[in-house]
Every structure is written in structure tokens, then in C-alpha cells.
Amino acid sequence: MQDRNHLARVKATHQVEVIENGLIDIPMLQILQSDGTLHPGASAPPLSQDVAVKILHTMQYIRILDERMIAAQRQGRISFYLACTGEEAAAVGSVAALSDQDMIMSQYREQGALAYRGYSTAQFMNQMFSNQLDPNKGRQMPIHYGDKALNFMTISSPLATQIPQAAGYAYGQKMAGNDAITICYFGEGAASEGDFHAGLNMAAVLNCPVVFFCRNNGYAISTPAEEQFAGDGIASRGIGYGIKTIRVDGNDVLAVYAATQEARRIAVEQRCPVLIEAMSYRLAAHSTSDDPSGYRSRDEEDKWRAKDPVARMIHWLDSQGWFDESQNSKWLEQSRQEVLAALKEAEKVPVNPIEDIVEDVYDSVPWHLSAQLEQLKSHIKKYPEVYPKTSGRVK
């Protein structure tokens, strides 16, 4: 039997030595200054004009979508919404550095990743209006997107559950022998869940090609980061699990892109996990059910508004000669129109017929669900006015 000595790496000491927080100093990668020039000593990652403009457009598009849908929720047209204002660079910059074959497993504030992959405005709307064109068949709350064709795993509300799942998904990719990896997004609050520990440890021990991407935006609903953890953020934990780790300025889209590109390279070549911690700020309310004025100051928000990732990217594109103000304004206006038109369209599409309520629980409908459906249908037929969404189509 093989001799395994887990003490092999341990250095002895003969005095009592206490290891304190701060001994490992994890720096934050920054490439772009807020005026769009490079930090001294930094260099921009190789990025074509097309990709750079697509990144900007995606961030701007998400901002438009977020603004419009918050308004739609306020008007009672959809039940719920959740914006990512201020954090657009994290999801968009990271996904831009991936292959389209890579699986995305997200928490819920990464709509930018989905938009970058090509999810259409109509698709966003159909999901949010839970109509019969929604690929989730109208079963989940708004913003719980998923798209198999785009390799975007359907979102679920329970926090951090996707973290060990991402390890398993990536293990499957490795076993299938392809070069695809999995990227797994989560917030710093979710990182306090047991599933974070489970997922990172399993990914490290089982050598899973997964990039764990933490959006550390300072708040989990009302809970500030200092009530979430006492250590050096989330990055320091990666080291403890034996995971290669990068901390990055989450409002600097070039830094996010460069870090993710490197993380992906390591994951593919070395078949191992990498952790990225993107430092940012949740300028948006947690969701439409939240009002941040109850737990943080306007001043604090303004300080972060000045670090806007979108403005920073515009400055940089401008310095490359890749930005045209009037063209961009026109594009913004077009996008607003597109969002509004798609919203009105999706609103008119009916929900699925009632038969759908028992589909997909199993691969086929078992006897007890068929019986329950029949009972429900005859009830709806008796009281059609009480169930207007479905009664018209009950046979």
C-alpha cells in the first residue's frame, strides 16, 4: 500500500507561532484607471475592436434592460426583478474570456453573461413574463434564466447550491474528454453557505476544471461584508483549499477579462479549479423587494457611482479610437426601443395550458399526477371565471 504522509509539506517551528489574518496579502488586479488610461505597469489584454465593443454594448444593454424592468415591476407588470447595476463588468468581462462551449452556472445577478452569449431580448422577456414561450414554461420567478443551447444552466433561488454542482459538471466535462470548462458565479454572501466549502474542496481534491467567480459587492441584501466574514475576503479561502486564486477589480472590465482568460487557461491545461474574487459594489437594490436606503448611505453609493465600469470602458475605447459618441447614442436609443417593444410583445403571450403543471416533474407523468390533473381540470371547468388564465383552454 502506498505511503501517504500529509505532514510532508509541514515546516516545524520550536516557538509558539500564531498565524494571523493579513499574513497572506492578496493584491487586486487593476488594469484600467477610471479615466480610461492604463495603470502604470499594466497592459491591456489582447482584445479585438469587435469584442471590446461587444463587451461595452452588452454592459449598456443590461443597464437599459435593468432600468426598464425595474419600472415594469413597479407598474405591476412583472412580479419581481433583480438588477446588476454597477456590476456589469464582472459577468460580461468574464464570459467574454470564455469559449461558447463552457458551461455557465450562475447565481442570479449575471444577466450580462447570458446577454453576451446571445440570449435575445424576446427570450429575456418571455422568461420574466412566465409565458408559454419561456423555456422554463413559466414555472420559476423572473430572472431565473436558463438556456441549454447557450450552455447556461437554469438558475435556482437556493444560494450556493450551484457551487458543488459546478464541480461535478466540470468533472463530467473532463471525463468526456473535451476542453470545455465550467464557470460558476456567486456572491460573497453565498460564499458563507456550506455548499461553498463543499464545492471548492471537492473541486480541488477531484481536480475539476472549474472557474469559481465570486462577485464581492459588499452586501448580501442588508448585510455588509464585515458581518459576512472576518478574513481577507473570499480569495484568502481559495488558498486554504489549495486552489489557485486571483483577486481582481470588478469594475475594471479589462482586469476581469485578463484574469478570467488566465483562469480558464489554467483550468484547461492543468485540469484544476481557479478562484476569482471580483471586488465591486452593488449599486442596485438587492431586488425590487428591497430598499437599500434602510441600511446604507447615499454618500457611499455616490463614491461607487464614480467608479462606474461602463464609463471606464467607454474612456478606454475612446482612447483606442473605437468609440463614436453619436453612434453609441443611436445604439442606446435603438436598444431602448427594442426592449420596450419586446416587453409589450411578451406581455400578450398566454401562459402554458394547465396540462403543463404536471409535466417534467418526472420524465413521464405518473398515475397520481394524471389523476390530480384530471381532478384539477374538472374543478377549473366548474369555476372558469376564478381561473381565467387557463379555463379558456381546458378540454
Partner 1 sequence: MARMNLLQAVNNALTIAMEQDERVMVFGEDVGHFGGVFRATSHLQEKFGKPRCFNTPLTEQGIIGFANGLAAQGAVPVAEIQFGDYIFPAFDQIVNETAKFRYRSGGQFSCGTLTIRTPYGGGIAGGHYHSQSPEAFFAHCPGLKIVIPRDPYQAKGLLLASIRDDNPVLFMEPKRLYRASVADVPEDDFELPLGKADLVQEGRDITLVGWGAQVEILQKAAQMSLQDGISCEVIDLRSILPWDRLMVAESVMKTGRLLINHEAPLTGGFASEIAAAIQEQCFLYLEAPIARVCGLDTPYPLAHEKEYMPDEYKTYEAIKRTMTY
Judged by the rule CB under 8 A, the positions of this chain that interact with partner 1 are 103, 105, 134-137, 139-140, 144, 146-148, 153-154, 156, 158, 161-173, 175-176, 182, 194-195, 197-199, 201-202, 205-206, 359-363, 366-368
Amino acid in position 262: E
Q: Which of 55, 60, 51, 120 is CA-nearest to residue 84?
A: 60
In whole angstroms, the minimum distance from the beta carbon of 114 to partner 1 comes to: 14
Between 119 and 323, name the residue whose CB sits nearer to partner 1: 119
Cβ(150)–Cβ(101) under 8 Å?
no
Residue 148's φ and ψ, nearest 5 degrees, are -65, -45
Angle, helices 194-205/162-176, rounded to nearest 10 degrees = 20
In whole angstroms, the minimum distance from the beta carbon of 85 to partner 1 comes to: 26
Between 136 and 391, name the residue whose CB sits nearer to partner 1: 136
Between 85 and 123, name the residue whose CB sits nearer to partner 1: 123
Amino acid in position 373: L
CA–CA gap between residue 339 and residue 259 (Å, rounded): 32
User: What is the residue whose three cell numbers read 482568460?
Assistant: 261
In whole angstroms, the minimum distance from the beta carbon of 357 to partner 1 comes to: 10
Tell me the three cell numbers of residue 29. Answer: 488586479
**Rg (alpha carbons) of the chain, rounded to whole number:** 23
CB atoms within 10 A of CB 27: 9
Amino acid in position 72: A
CA–CA gap between residue 280 and residue 142 (Å, rounded): 24
In whole angstroms, the minimum distance from the beta carbon of 298 to partner 1 comes to: 37
Between 26 and 206, name the residue whose CB sits nearer to partner 1: 206
Between 179 and 359, name the residue whose CB sits nearer to partner 1: 359
Between 71 and 371, name the residue whose CB sits nearer to partner 1: 371
In whole angstroms, the minimum distance from the beta carbon of 103 to partner 1 comes to: 8
In whole angstroms, the minimum distance from the beta carbon of 287 to partner 1 comes to: 19
Between 162 and 216, name the residue whose CB sits nearer to partner 1: 162
CA–CA gap between residue 301 and residue 299 (Å, rounded): 5
In whole angstroms, the minimum distance from the beta carbon of 100 to partner 1 comes to: 16
Between 199 and 238, name the residue whose CB sits nearer to partner 1: 199
Cβ-count burial of 374 within 10 angstroms (0-12 exposed, 13-18 middle, 19+ buried)?
exposed
The H or E element that residue 2 is part of is none
Cβ-count burial of 356 within 10 angstroms (0-12 exposed, 13-18 middle, 19+ buried)?
middle
CA–CA gap between residue 205 and residue 241 (Å, rounded): 9
Cβ(147)–Cβ(114) under 8 Å?
yes
In whole angstroms, the minimum distance from the beta carbon of 131 to partner 1 comes to: 12
Amino acid in position 191: A
Between 71 and 361, name the residue whose CB sits nearer to partner 1: 361
In whole angstroms, the minimum distance from the beta carbon of 168 to partner 1 comes to: 3
